[in-house]
Structure formats: structure tokens, C-alpha cells
């Protein structure tokens, strides 16, 4: 598993929030219902994102969470860093210390090339792009309404 479950949950919620960028605060309960993620657990994950200034939260009636910046300004990578941390992005494939810093392991050359591609991807893709992809998919399948479609994207495990 490349990303932790927490991180995947955070990403799913982010994309959903991005697809409603117009909206005001969305309750975590609504997100967790739609994504089939434990409300309690998702709450913890989104707290991490709030601390990292990716989300803004508001307590009380009409409260909830929303993206702290335009979806086009939040990179895939930002979410990963907020939840799994920077270290998770620079690990040696064989788990040895100091990948890229110390003596490279036998896999380093190949692995770091892949890692570069992966980082480029994470750096270039924004939540906006992910949410647009979602919309396009929806448009191409007119028989399924929006809510339904999001639900099929984010089916329970």
C-alpha cells in the first residue's frame, strides 16, 4: 500500500469537497456518509488537514469543513504530506536509511526514477483536476445522477 488508509480517506474527501467548491461548509457527517467512511475516523483525518491549513473548519450549526484554498491550488502532494508526512515520499525501496543521501542500494537507480515520476504526478495534479475528471465522467453517463455517481466512485470496501 503506497498511501495509508488515512491518506486515502483524506484524498477522497478532498476530491468530494473540490467538486462542491461553490458550496459553503459541508458537515463531516455528510462526507462520511457519502464516502462510506467511519465518521469518527474521517473526523480525525480531516483534523490533520485542517491543522495543515488545507481545510477550514467551522463549529456549530451550518458549520463543517471546506477547502481553505481554491481546489486548483491544492496539490495531491499537499494532502499526502499533511497526512502521511514528507518522509513517506522519500523512502528507499528496500527500507534502508538515507535513500538519495547515503550510499545507494542496488535498486536505487530504477526506484528513484519511478519515484521522480510519482512525485511529479503528485506535484502537478490538483484537487481541481481530480474533481473535473469526476465531472467529465459523470457527463458521459447521463443515466446516473451526480450523487449516485459519486457513490459508485466511492464504494465501501
Binding residues for ligand FES (CB under 6 A): 92-94, 96, 99-100, 104-105, 107-108, 111-112
DSSP state of 87: G
By CB under 8 A, tell whether 52 contacts a second copy: no
CA 57 to CA 68: how far, in whole Å? 9
Shortest gap between Cβ of 35 and DNA (angstroms)?
Answer: 11
CA 69 to CA 56: how far, in whole Å? 9
Alpha-carbon Rg for the chain in angstroms? 17
CA 102 to CA 38: how far, in whole Å? 41
Span 12-71, contacts to DNA by CB under 7 A: 25-29, 38, 40-41, 43-44, 46-47, 50-51, 57-65
CA 62 to CA 28: how far, in whole Å? 11
**Cα–Cα–Cα angle for 60, 61, 64, rounded to 5 degrees:** 70
> Of 50 and 129, which CB lies nearer to DNA in the complex structure?
50
Interacting residue ranges for a second copy, rule: CB under 8 A = 1-3, 5, 8-9, 11-12, 15, 76, 88, 91, 93-97, 102-103, 105-107, 109-111, 114, 117-118, 121, 125, 130-131, 133-134, 137, 152-155, 157
Interacting residue ranges for DNA, rule: CB under 7 A = 1, 4-6, 9, 25-29, 38, 40-41, 43-44, 46-47, 50-51, 57-65
Amino acid at each position: 500500500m503506497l498511501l495509508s488508509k488515512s491518506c486515502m480517506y483524506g484524498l477522497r474527501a478532498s476530491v468530494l469537497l473540490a467538486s462542491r467548491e461553490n458550496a459553503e461548509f459541508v458537515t463531516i457527517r455528510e462526507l462520511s456518509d457519502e464516502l462510506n467512511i467511519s465518521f469518527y475516523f474521517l473526523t480525525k483525518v480531516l483534523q490533520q488537514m485542517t491543522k495543515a491549513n488545507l481545510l477550514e473548519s467551522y463549529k456549530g450549526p451550518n458549520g463543517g469543513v471546506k477547502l481553505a484554498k481554491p481546489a486548483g491550488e491544492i496539490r495531491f502532494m499537499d494532502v499526502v504530506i499533511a497526512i502521511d508526512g514528507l518522509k513517506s515520499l522519500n523512502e528507499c525501496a528496500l527500507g534502508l536509511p538515507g535513500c538519495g543521501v547515503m550510499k545507494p542500494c542496488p535498486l536505487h537507480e530504477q526506484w528513484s526514477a519511478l519515484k521522480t515520476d510519482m512525485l511529479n504526478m503528485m506535484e502537478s495534479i490538483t484537487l481541481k483536476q481530480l474533481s473535473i475528471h469526476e465531472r467529465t465522467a459523470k457527463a458521459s453517463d447521463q443515466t446516473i445522477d451526480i450523487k449516485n455517481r459519486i457513490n459508485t466512485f466511492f464504494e465501501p470496501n
